[in-house]
Chain A
Amino acid sequence: MERRTIFAGWKLPLLLVAPQLVLTFVFFYWPALVAAYESLTRTDAFGIHVVFVGLANFRDLFADPLYRAAILRTVEFCAAVTALSLGLGLVLAVAADRELRGRNLYRVLMIWPYAVAPAVSAVLWILLLNPQIGLVGRFLIAHGIRWDYALNGSQAMLMVVLASAWKQVSYNFIFVLAGLQSIPKAVIEAARMDGARGLYRFRTVVLPLLSPTLFFLVVVDLVYAAFDTFGTIWAMTQGGPAQATQTLVVKVYNDGVVNLDLGSSSAQSVVLMVGVVALTALQFRFLGRRSGT
Chain B
Amino acid sequence: MRRSANWLAHSVLILGALLFALPIWLAFCAATLDPAAIDRGELSLIPRLDHIGSFWDVLVHGGPGVPPVWRMLVVSFGMALAIAIGKIVISILSAFAVVFFRFPLRRTAFWAIFVTLMLPVEVRIIPTYAVMGDLHMIDTFPGLAVPLIASATATLLFRQTFAAIPDELVEAARMDGAGPLRFLKDILIPVSAANLAALFVILFVYGWNQYLWPLVVATSPNLDTIVIGIVKMIGIDTSTEWNKVMATAVIALIPPVAVVVSMQRWFVRGLTEGEK
Q: Are A128 and B261 touching (Cβ within 8 A)?
A: no
- Highest count of chain B CB atoms <10 Å: which of A13, A35, A287: A13
B144-191 contacts to A (CB < 8 Å): 146-147, 149-150, 152, 155, 160, 163, 167, 170-171, 174, 179-181, 183
The docked-state distance in angstroms from the alpha carbon of A290 to that of B275 is 11
Residues from chain B with Cβ under 8 Å of A157 in the complex: none
The docked-state distance in angstroms from the alpha carbon of A24 to that of B150 is 6
Q: Are A133 and B43 touching (Cβ within 8 A)?
A: yes
Pick from B16, B93, B116: contact of A17, CB under 8 Å: B93
Mask: chain B, 83-110; 1 = CB below 8 Å from A; 0 = not: 0000001110110111111111010010
CB nearest to A123 among chain B residues: B249
Cβ of B276 < 8 Å from any Cβ of A? yes
Pick from A20, A116, A170: contact of B253, CB under 8 Å: A116
Q: Are B163 and A27 touching (Cβ within 8 A)?
A: no
B13-34 contacts to A (CB < 8 Å): 13, 16-17, 19-21, 23-24, 26-27, 30
CB of A59, distance to nearest CB on chain B (Å): 20
Cβ of A19 < 8 Å from any Cβ of B? yes
Residues from chain B with Cβ under 8 Å of A25 in the complex: 112
CB of B76, distance to nearest CB on chain A (Å): 10
The docked-state distance in angstroms from the alpha carbon of A108 to that of B262 is 10
Q: Are B126 and A115 touching (Cβ within 8 A)?
A: no
Mask: chain B, 215-245; 1 = CB below 8 Å from A; 0 = not: 1100000000001001100100000001001
CB of B22, distance to nearest CB on chain A (Å): 8
CB nearest to B202 among chain A residues: A114
The docked-state distance in angstroms from the alpha carbon of A34 to that of B127 is 6
Cβ of A110 < 8 Å from any Cβ of B? yes
The docked-state distance in angstroms from the alpha carbon of A112 to that of B211 is 20
Q: Are A3 and B91 touching (Cβ within 8 A)?
A: no
Residues from chain B with Cβ under 8 Å of A227 in the complex: 120, 122-123
Cβ of A91 < 8 Å from any Cβ of B? yes
Number of A-B contacts (CB under 8 A): 304
Residues from chain A with Cβ under 8 Å of B227 in the complex: 117, 119-120, 231
Cβ of A48 < 8 Å from any Cβ of B? no
Residues from chain A with Cβ under 8 Å of B124 in the complex: 28, 31-32, 35, 269, 273
Number of chain B interface residues as a range: 35 or more
Interface of B is mostly: helix
A115-144 contacts to B (CB < 8 Å): 115-120, 122-128, 132-135, 138
CB of A223, distance to nearest CB on chain B (Å): 6
Q: Are B23 and A125 touching (Cβ within 8 A)?
A: yes
Q: Are B245 and A123 touching (Cβ within 8 A)?
A: yes
Mask: chain A, 225-261; 1 = CB below 8 Å from B; 0 = not: 0011011001100000000000001001100110000
CB nearest to B30 among chain A residues: A127
Q: When A3-B163, A20-B150 are in contact, do A108 and B16 touch as well, CB less than 8 Å?
A: no
Pick from B38, B93, B101, B253: contact of A133, CB under 8 Å: B38
Pick from A9, A231, A266, A277: contact of B211, CB under 8 Å: A231
Residues from chain B with Cβ under 8 Å of A82 in the complex: none
Residues from chain B with Cβ under 8 Å of A115 in the complex: 205, 208-209, 253, 256-257, 259-260
Report the interface size for chain A: residues with CB under 8 A from the other chain.
99
Cβ of A106 < 8 Å from any Cβ of B? yes
Residues from chain A with Cβ under 8 Å of B129 in the complex: 257
CB of B103, distance to nearest CB on chain A (Å): 4
Q: When A35-B126, A109-B17 are in contact, do A28 and B150 touch as well, CB less than 8 Å?
A: yes
Q: Are A283 and B125 touching (Cβ within 8 A)?
A: no
Q: Are B122 and A34 touching (Cβ within 8 A)?
A: no
Q: List 10 A-B contacts (CB under 8 A).
A: A6-B102, A7-B183, A14-B104, A27-B150, A119-B209, A123-B230, A123-B246, A127-B43, A234-B212, A276-B120
Residues of B within 8 A of A (CB): 5-6, 8-10, 12-13, 16-17, 19-21, 23-24, 26-27, 30, 38-39, 41, 43, 89-91, 93-94, 96-104, 106, 109, 112-113, 115-120, 122-131, 135, 146-147, 149-150, 152, 155, 160, 163, 167, 170-171, 174, 179-181, 183, 205, 208-209, 211-212, 215-216, 227, 230-231, 234, 242, 245-246, 249, 252-253, 256-257, 259-261, 264, 267-268, 271-272, 275-276
- Given A25-B112, A34-B127, 10 new contacts (CB under 8 A): A7-B183, A24-B152, A92-B16, A100-B13, A112-B257, A115-B209, A119-B227, A120-B249, A174-B271, A277-B119
Residues of A within 8 A of B (CB): 1, 3-7, 9-10, 12-14, 16-17, 19-21, 23-32, 34-35, 38, 88, 91-92, 94-96, 98, 100, 106-120, 122-128, 132-135, 138, 166, 169-170, 174-175, 178, 216, 220, 223, 227-228, 230-231, 234-235, 249, 252-253, 256-257, 262, 265-266, 269, 272-273, 276-277, 279-280, 283-284, 287, 290-291
